[in-house]
């Protein structure tokens, strides 16, 4: 799943509205749970509008410096700006949506 350091989980034609990068350290239970939670959240709230890139820091540790990664798993929203970071397994959907500045499906913007 994480072989080679990069895995494009979802690659959309053209520019994705949300460009997300998930940093992990191997195939740990926490890393796999974070990816599973991220996929579910994106399919529920960002269907067709996102791109996920997974970076395994055990394969490419130097890539952590670019986004100043200090803990894993860490999710980085690269686009739209500003860049936002969320650390952990992404199991608290409400907090992840707030962290990504994504409006939950079925709720009107306030």
User: Cα–Cα distance between 16 and 42 in angstroms, integer?
Assistant: 12
Which residue segment(s) compose the domain that 56 sits in? Answer: 6-100
- Whether this model's pTM surpasses 0.85: no
User: Cα–Cα distance between 72 and 6 in angstroms, integer?
Assistant: 15
Q: Is residue 66 part of a domain?
A: yes
Q: Is residue 19 part of a domain?
A: yes
Residues 6+ apart with CB under 8 A from 2: 24, 26, 27, 31, 54, 56, 59
Q: How many domains is the chain partitioned into structurally?
A: 1
Q: Is residue 106 part of a domain?
A: no
Q: Is residue 107 part of a domain?
A: no
Whichever domain contains 76, its CATH number is 3.40.30.10
Q: Is residue 58 part of a domain?
A: yes
Q: Is residue 91 part of a domain?
A: yes
For the chain, 110 residues long, give each residue's pLDDT as a single digit of tens: 444 454 444 555 556 799 999 999 999 999 999 999 999 999 999 988 899 999 999 998 988 888 899 999 999 999 999 999 999 999 999 999 999 998 876 655 55
């Amino acid at each position: 799943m994480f072989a080679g350091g990069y895995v494009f989980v979802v690659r959309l034609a053209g520019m994705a509205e949300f460009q997300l990068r998930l940093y992990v350290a191997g195939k740990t239970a926490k890393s796999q749970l974070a990816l599973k939670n991220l996929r579910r959240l994106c399919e529920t709230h960002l269907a067709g509008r996102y791109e996920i890139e997974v970076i395994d820091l055990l394969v490419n540790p130097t890539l952590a410096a670019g986004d100043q990664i200090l803990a894993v798993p860490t999710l980085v929203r690269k686009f739209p700006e500003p860049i936002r970071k969320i650390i952990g397994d992404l199991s608290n959907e409400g907090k992840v949506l707030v962290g990504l500045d994504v409006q939950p499906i079925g709720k009107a913007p306030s």
